[in-house]
Structure 1
């Protein structure tokens, strides 16, 4: 027998249950053997209905498939009003579905059987696999703080947008449901039991919306910057690529990498670019810097402007695949995620992956730090432990960990929906206060959290101080 805990209103109750059973079976066991009368939802018992979703050890999970563990804490699904015990009010979700006209809209329905080509059906197969568990809504940082219905509502709008039979302007509905408020942090993807790539669904819906003229003016300005200078931000002074050399040879070369800078390192955080070169050389890694590299296209992909992104992608792939290097290294989470997941390049590494592997001694640094996970690194590239371990290698440093949460800088929100971005930024900054420095590996996160009054530096700039 093991002990599990259940939150009922404002108290936590403990019960002993058999090992190896599911949470759903445990709840039934408790009600039968302890006469607890705990209220919960369940129906299919086969991961198909989604009704049994609960918060289990802090994360939304299906009770019918999650096996109990000792000291497990079971709570109602977060982000919803609790009706009783583990039952939450799902009515607002159903009302929202009704408001977006969650059914086929046609002027005239066919009198006979209508055949649809398999290729058309296949386009919406993934977004049709949702089981309405609402796990994604329970973790969405935007829905919690702003008027945004959540990823699964946008997924449903896309489902009808892709349906050739539907005649409603679904992109218009999505636009006025705050389509561009999603930060594409992928928190929803992380908890989806059906593995639906919800952030990709939103990007696809944004692409279709942009083509119809439903876009934010600020996103159009970013587009104009890229078309003009191949960078997402305007040029202010002499860029990093204009100042650096094309090749830096390590004395005892163990590895040779190409440095993909990204827009902000090239045009804004130039010192971080030079810190990167110094840190790599100190780890016996030679650095090649292709001077003709362009914006990776991430700002365009995240905001639905795929036409510009594809042009950038084609040119960058041509440049990067011609290089004689072991790896392409990024120090921007957004660039790294784009090169890995959108370009599908196999030899891309975040700087933390390289430094984690090529260990060396560092000088003591008696300060207190924490680490902010960029969403496009933690969830976009599944990189979590490497930066933490690198920080802990520094003698005398005091490391206070923090849970991965979105700061509101991504998905075009910082440029397009400033009010929301600041709300999320202030909330994240409050969680990170109380240290000397906040470390991250994303110039957008760095810039955004600095605007909230935090002392933030890129991981390479921290390592530059201790080599």
Structure 2
């Protein structure tokens, strides 16, 4: 029988144990208590991924102990973000008290006469929302919850569940608003760790949509709406835009592909240099570039803050423009735009710049620089793109690359515009992880701007590549 070593964090002290391979973490804990008399305290019940009680932090991420297999040198810790009661048991009582405070049950002012039938279509509306097993993994990874009074995505999920139930007569949107509904950055870290694959960020967006319709919104988000209604951009224009300065078509000398460049608001109105860098980099890789002059805001700021009515108008305008083009791909250098085009527009021919360029073999000039990479949440989790930008950076001779664990900087989900103090706090925490590098690379104008305000030297990946083509 092959034995491997696992480590247990018992209230700050790391203990090592030999256990047989091919056990689940839950089985390994029971083996340790039985064979070593360790008396480690932990929670478990159903053993079948249904009760959620056995969730632990395993190698840095929340996982169910009953379904996670042990690996050599694995580190097992209590679920983060909660007070430790004993060993691997955390205090779940604050969560239960929060559920109690939001009246986590159907509220009726007048009961029906006799049996009340529920149509199947009504049941389907909340089916995914009811799949939660209360493992609390989402709460342990939420950056907003760790830095504010935001109760977490699963609490908002419960509020949406009752909001969509026609039997419920409570004002769930009002409760959500005063429970800091707009503190969520929509980073999707909760979705990433949810064992039931519940789309929690979509639940929050839907709840925000319902709240906005009832008049529960942040004034700063209303101002973004006004900008879009005036100019089809989420920010005001202060000078000649990138689309006004640039040509409509740039022909590559030895054309291999033709793409449409979807700029996004910040590149068009603020980061104009990044726009021209993108064109130069694409041309250097023998890619011809269309710049659709009729393109408008992708609608992401409206979708993330619940203002779907405006977003749908923007989507219609963009689809009319983009679907008429004779191109191979639509290319983005903004994580939010790319995620919106892929996931909300459902376009199949959209690529982040790193996804496209990684397919081309090209030698880059040497650049002696110590850099790291910041994962935009809407790129890593929204598009599952994280290997490609790292590989492109590593292709540059002379680059010293120091990787970093993904962590939300606080710029997304309307938090930067609407909850400035929380955004600043999250930005500062993220910035501390990059103090030992010359530059931080990213592929999101919002992350770039936000991290620059924390004192970091940040550039878009295309601006880095522009230096070495």
TM class, shorter-length? over 0.9
Which whole-Å deviations, capped at 9, do the CAs of 1:75-100 have from their partners, x for residues lacking one?
00000000000000000000100111
Aligned partner of residue 321 in structure 2, secondary structure: helix
Match of 2:160 in 1: 158
Q: Partners in 2 of 1:319 and 1:303 — Cα distance?
A: 25
Aligned partner of residue 210 in structure 2, secondary structure: helix
Aligned partner of residue 118 in structure 2, secondary structure: coil
Match of 1:136 in 2: 138
Q: Partners in 2 of 1:409 and 1:435 — Cα distance?
A: 21
Match of 1:465 in 2: 467
The one of 44, 47, 51 aligned to 2:46? 44
Match of 1:364 in 2: 366
Stretches of structure 2 that go unaligned for 5 or more consecutive residues are: none
Match of 1:354 in 2: 356
Match of 2:89 in 1: 87
Q: Partners in 2 of 1:144 and 1:464 — Cα distance?
A: 38
Match of 1:335 in 2: 337
CA-CA distance at 1:276 after TM superposition: 0.2
Does 2:285 correspond to 1:283? yes
Match of 2:240 in 1: 238
Match of 1:202 in 2: 204
CA-CA distance at 1:241 after TM superposition: 0.4
Q: Partners in 2 of 1:436 and 1:411 — Cα distance?
A: 28
Q: Partners in 1 of 2:23 and 2:114 — Cα distance?
A: 49
Q: Partners in 1 of 2:251 and 2:465 — Cα distance?
A: 19
Aligned partner of residue 229 in structure 2, secondary structure: helix
CA-CA distance at 1:242 after TM superposition: 0.3
The one of 407, 410, 413 aligned to 1:408? 410
TM-score, structure 2 as length reference: 0.99
Match of 2:303 in 1: 301
Aligned partner of residue 153 in structure 1, secondary structure: helix
Does 2:17 correspond to 1:15? yes
Q: Partners in 1 of 2:462 and 2:390 — Cα distance?
A: 13
Q: Partners in 2 of 1:349 and 1:427 — Cα distance?
A: 30
Aligned partner of residue 265 in structure 1, secondary structure: helix
Q: Partners in 2 of 1:21 and 1:435 — Cα distance?
A: 41
Which whole-Å deviations, capped at 9, do the CAs of 1:371-404 have from their partners, x for residues lacking one?
0000000100000110011001111111111111
Q: Partners in 2 of 1:130 and 1:98 — Cα distance?
A: 17
Match of 2:70 in 1: 68
Aligned partner of residue 201 in structure 1, secondary structure: helix
Does 2:123 correspond to 1:118? no
Stretches of structure 1 that go unaligned for 5 or more consecutive residues are: none
Aligned partner of residue 357 in structure 1, secondary structure: coil
Does 2:422 correspond to 1:446? no
CA-CA distance at 1:434 after TM superposition: 1.7
Q: Partners in 2 of 1:30 and 1:384 — Cα distance?
A: 37
Which whole-Å deviations, capped at 9, do the CAs of 1:151-195 have from their partners, x for residues lacking one?
000000101101110000000000000000000000000000000
CA-CA distance at 1:289 after TM superposition: 0.7
Give 4+ residue runs of structure 1 displaced > 3 Å after superposition: none
* Aligned positions of 1:221-260 closer than 5 A: 221-260=223-262
CA-CA distance at 1:110 after TM superposition: 2.0
User: Cα RMSD (Å) of the superposition?
Assistant: 0.6
Aligned partner of residue 329 in structure 1, secondary structure: strand
Which whole-Å deviations, capped at 9, do the CAs of 1:4-26 have from their partners, x for residues lacking one?
11110121111111111111111
Deviates more, 1:202-211 or 1:68-77: 68-77
Aligned partner of residue 380 in structure 1, secondary structure: helix
Match of 2:99 in 1: 97
Does 2:344 correspond to 1:322? no
Match of 1:176 in 2: 178
TM-score, structure 1 as length reference: 0.99
Which whole-Å deviations, capped at 9, do the CAs of 1:192-215 have from their partners, x for residues lacking one?
000000000000000000000000
The one of 375, 395, 398 aligned to 1:396? 398
The one of 162, 175, 188 aligned to 2:190? 188
CA-CA distance at 1:104 after TM superposition: 1.1
CA-CA distance at 1:449 after TM superposition: 0.5
Aligned partner of residue 358 in structure 2, secondary structure: helix
Q: Partners in 1 of 2:245 and 2:356 — Cα distance?
A: 24
Match of 2:427 in 1: 425
CA-CA distance at 1:359 after TM superposition: 2.3
CA-CA distance at 1:462 after TM superposition: 0.4
Q: How many residues align?
A: 467
The one of 236, 248, 269 aligned to 1:267? 269
